[in-house]
Structures are given as structure tokens and as C-alpha cells.
Amino acid sequence: MWSYFIRRIVIGIPTLWAIITVCFFLMRLTPGGPFDSEAPVPPEILTNLRASYHLDDPLWQQYFSYLGNLLHGDFGPSFKYRDFTVTELIAQGFPVSLQNGAAALVLAVVIGVFLGIVAALAQNTRRDYAVSAIAMTGIVIPNFIMGHLLILIFGLWLKDSIFQLPAGGWEDGAFANRILPVVCLALPYVAYIARIARGSMIEALHANYIRTARAKGLPFRTVVLRHALTSAMMPVVTFLGPATAFILTGSMVVETIFQIPGIGRYFVQGALNRDYTLVMGVTILSAALVIFMNIVVDMIYSVLDPHVRYDEAAS
């Protein structure tokens, strides 16, 4: 099995290189530059700035220089935050995004799987329709609307009540400041997981081995939790692979709305300011996490389903 995962890691390296290459040239070919602003910069100062950041070098030379720095773990300096490197900004923002993302992920999995099981066990009943309606609502309402709606309800309408919550800010990770962004970040994933868990649980409950287990007189709770749920979790785990990477790197919209100093907010500001190195750094981190989480998903498959044998598939 380990030889399979080593091959997956080796295959992931050229995939990551292709993402880096495409993003590098897209950023450089986008109109505008990191030193464009409303106040015109004198030509001689602009020339000095471009020279100090090697932006006056040929594009191919900038590309290979950037790749060489990446091999040494150097993402380069930030063009917007002059006193910080991209590595320092990521080191500051990623723990914040990681804390919120991990909390949102746990919340989404627990609530989503629970709702999916509840809907599957009451298929085609009012309870099933209610869960499906809630899930569809969570899917179709985007984060930027849900975030402002939560701020409106808990920050304005419930002002001066016990349910009032801060409308934004981080305050060194105060619990009250985490609630709204975590909920806003988790809601779409709760909806997706609930729908996936519902469909896979219904399919599992109609499988032959489940009928056999019930015919042998096993308690219904044991059949559901020990047998059907294990099989039903396979599609959920598949979805959680890339979803975990996206949610851990922080939602750009959520962190911008709630003014949270995570890497998602840095990405938005970097894109608006043409901060090439900052956008590249966050993109590389997100792509690496997606590749890594897909490998982790394959490993979880072998735990959930003993019939999965990667060595046999690879040979």
C-alpha cells in the first residue's frame, strides 16, 4: 500500500508544478501591476521599485528565479506589505484560518451526517423533505449573503440581548468572535454533506448485506451505525478530501466580511493590489493541501472498506 501512496506523491509534484506555472504567468499577464495606484508614482521611483523586486527582468528569468526560490522554501517578499515576506504573512494568517476551518469542518461533519441519517431513515416523509429543503437552502445561498444575514440578525436585531454576537473582528481569537464566521463557513458544507449522506445511506440500507444483517435479528441501531453508516461514509469522505483543503485555507469571502486576519483575506487583498507573490503563496498552499487531502482520502478508504487493496490495484 505504501508504494501506491509514494507514487501518488510523486505524481502530485508535476501537478503542483503545473499549477504554479499557470498561476505565475496568469498573474504576470494580468493588466496592472503591484505599484499602480491612484496617486501616480514618479517614473524614476517606479523604475527603482521594479528593479528592486526584479520586475524589470525578462519574464522567463523571473519564472525560473521564482522556482529556484520555491525550492528553498522562499515565497518572496510581499509587494503590498513591505515589511513582511509572504512566508511570514502565511505563518500569521494560516493558524487563524486553520482554527476556524477545523471548527467549521467538525461542525459540518457532525451536523451534516446526522441530518443525512435522519432524512434517510425517514425517506419520503415530512422529516426527509424538511432536511432536503434545509440542505438546498444552504447550498443556494452564497456565503457573502449568509454572512451579512448573520451579522444583521445577531449583531443588529438581537443587539443588547443575550444572543448578541460580535459582527466582526478577531480580538485574539475570542470565542464570541469565532461563532458567526465558523457557522457561516460551515453552513454550505453542512448542506452538501447532508445531501450526500442521505443518498449514500438510502443506498446502503437497501443493500443485500443490510437485509441479511436485519434478517439475522441484529438490533436496528447496530445495523445502521456499524454496517450501513460505514458504507455510507465513503462518498462523504470523497467530498471531504478537497473540501477540507478549501475550508482549512479559509474562505476568502467569510474572512473578508468578518475582518478576520486569515490567509483568505490576504488572498483577496493580494489579488486587488496585484501582490503577485502573496497570491502565488496562498495558491500554492491551497493546491498542496488539495493534493495532500486526496491522498489522505485514499488512505481512509482502506480503513472504511477492508476490500480496498491499493497494492493489487497498482499491480
Q: Quick one: angle between helices 276-304 and 229-248, nearest 10? A: 170
3-state secondary structure of 209: helix
d(CA 312, CA 300): 17
Amino acid at 197: A
Whether 278 maps to a domain, the answer reads yes
d(CA 282, CA 300): 27
Per-residue pLDDT band at 314 (split at 50, 70, 90): very low
- The average confidence (pLDDT) of the chain is 84
Whether 156 maps to a domain, the answer reads yes
CB atoms within 10 A of CB 116: 27
For residue 155 the three cell numbers come to 449583531
- What value does the mean pLDDT take over residues 176-198? 92
Say if CB 155 and CB 165 are below 8 A apart.
yes
Whether 173 maps to a domain, the answer reads yes
**pLDDT in the model for residue 313:** 45
**pLDDT in the model for residue 1:** 64
Whether 18 maps to a domain, the answer reads no
Residue 36 above 80 pLDDT? no
Whether 22 maps to a domain, the answer reads no
3-state secondary structure of 154: helix
Residue 44 above 50 pLDDT? yes
Per DSSP (E only), the strands in 84-162 are: none
For residue 111 the three cell numbers come to 451536523
Residue 209 above 90 pLDDT? no
- Quick: pLDDT tens for 112-159: 999 999 999 888 899 999 998 988 888 888 888 999 999 999 988 888
CB atoms within 10 A of CB 220: 11
Residue 307 above 90 pLDDT? no
For residue 168 the three cell numbers come to 466582526
CATH number at residue 116: 1.10.3720.10
**pLDDT in the model for residue 315:** 42
User: Domain range spanning residue 188?
Assistant: 86-314
**pLDDT in the model for residue 194:** 93
Say if CB 275 and CB 30 are below 8 A apart.
no
d(CA 213, CA 222): 9
Q: What are phi and psi of 85, to 5 degrees?
A: -90, 165
Per-residue pLDDT band at 232 (split at 50, 70, 90): confident
Whether 216 maps to a domain, the answer reads yes
Whether 229 maps to a domain, the answer reads yes
Number of domains making up the chain: 1
Whether 68 maps to a domain, the answer reads no
